[in-house]
């Protein structure tokens, strides 16, 4: 799905963001080119082998295809996050004729926020995938299907997540410190802080009112924000009022998206540790409550990641190149609201179609399950879930029909 959705991005740059593309092309164009050269073709080539090759190619080739797709997606993340991070913390350029021109490619690539964003985001992807695997294995265990394989999946995943989720939180903390240094307005919006204060309180809940430049129904813990934002009990945190109103991000969506991300992340941590504790005691498959919760937690990582991107992208507004080029100055000059609406509607229809087909395919994969027993004459039969009509059902194989 990343391959499919990534194809749309060049069209967006050319149609919706012509002025942005014109001004930053010399800096970020090579990043997208390298993404296509090192990642896109690698993913697109071996994805078909991964999805349709089981039972059709040697096992080592199928496993190799899985590894190469994973490597390709990691390459893709590297270059795309380098691009996004440069927009957030631009470096390694000079201005010539109103355009950003590269002065140091290494400074462009390894801009101040890139290492933190890469580590935090990629670990989030791994945790998201882990909860999908855990949810699927819990689905099998709860129904007594593919018990041996599902138990192996679940045990490996809970121990992996028990380590990766705390690491994810530590990387998020490091990313937060970096953001406080380079994008203090974003941090203020995330925390719902209007006044500059030292120490700064942590706003647990509020309804930010940007017009009034204040919070309504605020519930806060004194000094706590200074502790986790600056690692000091009396550290100073800059409030939103220190920035002109036209330079403030939209506070309400950033504030609540941040809490969704953190709240789901903490819940994922608790479920991972609970599962690891059960697995350590040999009781993982004997806990119906855990298996039920693990199934519900399957899509949790996707929600947390999307909430995190709302924080990242809306939190840098009103800038496309942070502090240097405004969003209003980046759009195509002749573009109208109707143009954007119609193109967005078109892409939504396409995405809904593609994602519905992909969702159906993946659900069929899950329902079919791993091949616990070899199918008769497997090389002569399609093994794709969409060709299930020509595949013997598991019950038929088990009873020799």
Average pLDDT, the chain: 86
**Tens digit of each residue's pLDDT (9 = 90 or more) over 52-96:** 887 788 889 989 999 998 888 888 889 989 999 999 999 999 999
Higher pLDDT, 48 or 67: 67
Q: Residue 154 in contact with residue 138, Cβ under 8 Å?
A: yes
**Tens digit of each residue's pLDDT (9 = 90 or more) over 338-393:** 888 888 888 888 888 888 888 888 888 888 887 644 434 444 444 444 444 433 43
Using alpha carbons, select from 55, 1, 16 the residue that is nearest to residue 376: 55
Q: What is the pLDDT of residue 251?
A: 94
- Domain ranges, residue 75: 1-111
Q: How far apart are CA 122 and CA 255, in angstroms?
A: 23
Is 34 among the domain residues?
A: yes
Alpha helices in 144-247 (DSSP H): 147-182, 184-191, 224-230
From 165-179, 293-307, 374-388, the region with the lowest mean pLDDT: 374-388
From 199-208, 267-276, 376-385, the region with the lowest mean pLDDT: 376-385
Q: Residue 225 in contact with residue 193, Cβ under 8 Å?
A: yes
Is 92 among the domain residues?
A: yes
| 388 alpha carbon, distance to own chain's centre | 32
Higher pLDDT, 222 or 378: 222
pTM to 2 decimal places: 0.83
Q: Residue 225 in contact with residue 191, Cβ under 8 Å?
A: yes
Q: How far apart are CA 45 and CA 64, in angstroms?
A: 12
Percent residues over pLDDT 90 in the chain: 52
Q: Residue 199 in contact with residue 233, Cβ under 8 Å?
A: yes
Give the confidence band of 259 by pLDDT, cuts at 50, 70, 90. very high
Is 309 among the domain residues?
A: no
Using alpha carbons, select from 200, 6, 110 the residue that is nearest to residue 190: 200
Is 60 among the domain residues?
A: yes
What would the two tokens of residue 357 be? 């087909």
- DSSP string covering 60-112, please? HHHHHHHHHHHHHHHHHHHHHHHHHHHHHS--SEEEETTEEEES-HHHHHT-T
Question: What is the distance between the terminal CA atoms of the chain, rounded to a whole angstrom?
Answer: 37
Q: How far apart are CA 365 and CA 370, in angstroms?
A: 8
From 62-76, 212-226, 229-243, 359-373, the region with the lowest mean pLDDT: 359-373
Q: Residue 93 in contact with residue 108, Cβ under 8 Å?
A: yes
Give the confidence band of 16 by pLDDT, cuts at 50, 70, 90. confident
Instruction: Give bridge partners of residue 287 from the DSSP assignment.
Output: none
Per the structure, the count of domains in the chain is 1
Is 22 among the domain residues?
A: yes
Is 369 among the domain residues?
A: no
Higher pLDDT, 278 or 43: 278
Q: Residue 65 in contact with residue 46, Cβ under 8 Å?
A: yes
Is 71 among the domain residues?
A: yes
Give the confidence band of 172 by pLDDT, cuts at 50, 70, 90. very high
Alpha helices in 194-287 (DSSP H): 224-230, 251-280
Is 39 among the domain residues?
A: yes
Q: What is the pLDDT of residue 371?
A: 62
């Amino acid at each position: 799905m990343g391959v499919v959705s990534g194809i749309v991005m060049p069209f967006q740059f050319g149609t919706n963001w012509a002025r942005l593309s014109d001004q930053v092309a010399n800096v970020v164009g090579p990043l997208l080119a390298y993404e296509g050269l090192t990642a896109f073709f690698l993913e697109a080539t071996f994805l078909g082998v991964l999805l349709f090759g089981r039972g059709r190619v040697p096992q080592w080739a199928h496993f190799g295809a899985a590894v190469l797709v994973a490597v390709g997606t990691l390459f893709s993340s590297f270059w795309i996050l380098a691009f996004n991070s440069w927009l957030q913390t631009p470096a390694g350029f000079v201005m010539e004729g109103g355009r950003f021109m590269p002065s140091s490619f290494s400074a462009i690539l390894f801009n101040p926020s890139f290492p933190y964003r890469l580590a935090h985001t990629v670990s989030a992807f791994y945790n998201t995938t882990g909860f999908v695997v855990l949810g699927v294995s819990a689905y099998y265990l709860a129904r007594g299907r593919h018990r041996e394989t599902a138990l192996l999946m679940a045990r490996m995943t809970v121990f992996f997540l028990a380590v990766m989720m705390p690491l994810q939180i530590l990387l998020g903390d490091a990313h937060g410190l970096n953001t406080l240094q380079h994008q203090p307005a974003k941090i203020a919006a995330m925390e719902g802080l209007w006044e500059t204060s030292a120490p700064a309180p942590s706003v647990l809940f509020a309804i930010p009112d940007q017009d009034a430049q204040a919070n309504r129904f605020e519930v806060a813990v004194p000094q706590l924000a200074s502790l986790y934002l600056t690692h000091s009990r009396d550290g100073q945190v800059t409030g939103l009022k220190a920035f002109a109103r036209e330079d403030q991000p939209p506070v309400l969506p950033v504030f609540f998206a941040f809490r969704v991300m953190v709240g789901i992340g903490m819940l994922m941590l608790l479920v991972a540790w609970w599962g690891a504790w059960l697995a350590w005691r040999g009781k993982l498959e004997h806990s119906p409550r855990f298996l039920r919760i693990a199934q519900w937690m399957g899509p949790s990582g996707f929600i947390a990641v999307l909430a995190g991107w709302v924080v990242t992208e809306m939190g840098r507004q009103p800038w496309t190149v942070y502090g240097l080029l405004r969003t209003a100055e980046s759009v195509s000059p002749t573009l109208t609201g109707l143009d954007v609406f119609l193109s967005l509607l078109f892409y939504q229809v396409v995405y809904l179609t593609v994602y519905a087909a992909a969702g159906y395919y993946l659900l069929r994969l899950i329902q079919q399950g791993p091949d616990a027993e070899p199918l008769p004459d497997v090389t002569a039969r399609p093994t794709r879930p969409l060709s299930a009509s020509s595949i013997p059902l598991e019950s038929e194989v088990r009873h020799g029909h």
